[in-house]
Structures are given as C-alpha cells and as structure tokens.
Amino acid sequence: MRRVRVVGVGMGPHHLTREASEALAGADFVLAARKGPDDELLGVRRRICAEHDLELVEVPDPPRDRDDPADYLGAVRTWHQARTSAYADALGARRGTAAFLVWGDPSLYDSTLRVVEGLAERMPLDWDVVPGISAPQLLAARHRVVLHEVGRPVHLTPARRLPDALAAGQRNVLVMLGSEDSLTAIGATAGLEDWQIWWGANLGAAGERLVAGALADVLPDLVDARAAARAEAGWVMDAFLLRAPDDVS
C-alpha cells in the first residue's frame, strides 16, 4: 500500500502550517509537474523541498488545450488522465511516502485531488489531505473584509463563469483564476460601475498587488497593477471580490 500526502502550502514556506510541516517531515519525496523552463512556482516548490530535505521528482506536465476548446470539460478530463498516467509512472519507480505540494488549499480550483483519486484506482493507495491557506482567505485578510455581508451568501466562481453568475443574479461574487480578459469584460459590463471590487494578484508572494474601490474608479489602476505583477514575477494569479452597492453595509 503506497502512502501519499496532498499538502496545501499557501504561497510557499512562510504559509506552511504546523500540520503541513509535520506531513512533509514524514514524506520521502515530492512529486511536482514541470510546466516549462521558467516555471516560477516550481522554483518555490524546490525551496520548500530544500528546507525539508526532500527529493523533488519533477514530472513533465502533459500538454493541455488552453485555447477555450469547444468541449472544455472533455479537454480537462483528458489532461487529468494524462497527468495521472505520468504520476503513476513516477510513483511506481520509487519507494516511500510521496507528497504533492498544492498552491493555496487543495479544495479550490486545483486538479491534484482528482489526479490522486485516479492513482487510487490504479494502485493500492493510502492518501490524505492537509489543508492550506487559500487565495480567498488571503484576499479577505489583505483587504480586511468579510467575504459576505450579514446573513448573505458569497458565490465562488472561476473568472470564465463570471458572466453566468451575474446573469443569474449573483450580487456578491468571489472570482478566482482571473485574467486580463476577465477584467476587460467586467469593465465593459453595463451596470457594474458602482460595484465594489477588492482585488489581489500573486497574493502572499513578494510581488503582491492590491487594489480596492468602486469598479469604475479603480479599473485602470487594477489593470496596471496586474501588468506590473506579471512583469515582476513572470507570472500572475489573481482573485477578486465583486459586490453590488446594495450588498455593502
């Protein structure tokens, strides 16, 4: 029976909980996807492994169709299957306990749990999950806000589904996996001018950027901040809370 730990690491070594550190202390190696020669996030994983005296096994990440394929879910499933096969080969070639280091928390917009479920279908596997500090937690902390008003819900969605959420009447929306296109889209959406936005890029990293205010007032600053974050780090991950005026107390 192989042992696998899925460990949420927030944005790196400074976000490791005691439980996460203990999980890594009991691991023998870490499996991680290598997405290219300039994979900055893989570099952070290397630092975590060095601090815990762990071997990092880099697995070339299978290609994925990211150009808005007609069958988006099918393309993602194909990619997950290819990842599962690649990790199965790497896991089968080694003994001991393996760990996956997941950015933020494994429960939010990350494929690792689905991949490990696929591994468990192929081999006897004993696995568990250690939670981490998530992007929504960091966003709320940095802006000193509660993600929902009293007695009201918050709707969580990827940026590509934000138009659907707004069309369905959602008025307090936490958006992850943002993009420049998603910012352009909300800026062009009639009726959102007075909505409040709390935005953050590369949360928890050295090049973190934050912007907050009425959407019409801060959108140009937000676009500039996103570009600056990408230029500094070579990558950008952003999230934001978008709230209608009558939902702001």
From 130, 146, 172, give the residue that closes a domain: 130
CATH of the domain at 43: 3.40.1010.10
Helical H runs in the chain? 18-25, 40-51, 72-92, 112-122, 135-143, 162-167, 180-187, 215-233
User: Per residue in 66-75, pLDDT tens?
Assistant: 556 666 677 7
Whether residue 110 contacts residue 158, with contact meaning beta carbons closer than 8 Å, is answered with no
Per-residue pLDDT, 13? 87
Helix (H, G, I), strand (E, B) or coil at 132: coil
Together in a domain, 48 and 63: yes
CA atoms within 13 A on the CB side of 38: 3
- At 233, which amino acid appears? A
Together in a domain, 102 and 166: no
Together in a domain, 118 and 147: no
User: Per residue in 158-183, pLDDT tens?
Assistant: 998 999 999 999 999 999 988 888 88
Prediction pTM value:
0.87
Most confident of 58-72, 75-89, 110-124: 110-124
From 75, 106, 130, give the residue that closes a domain: 130
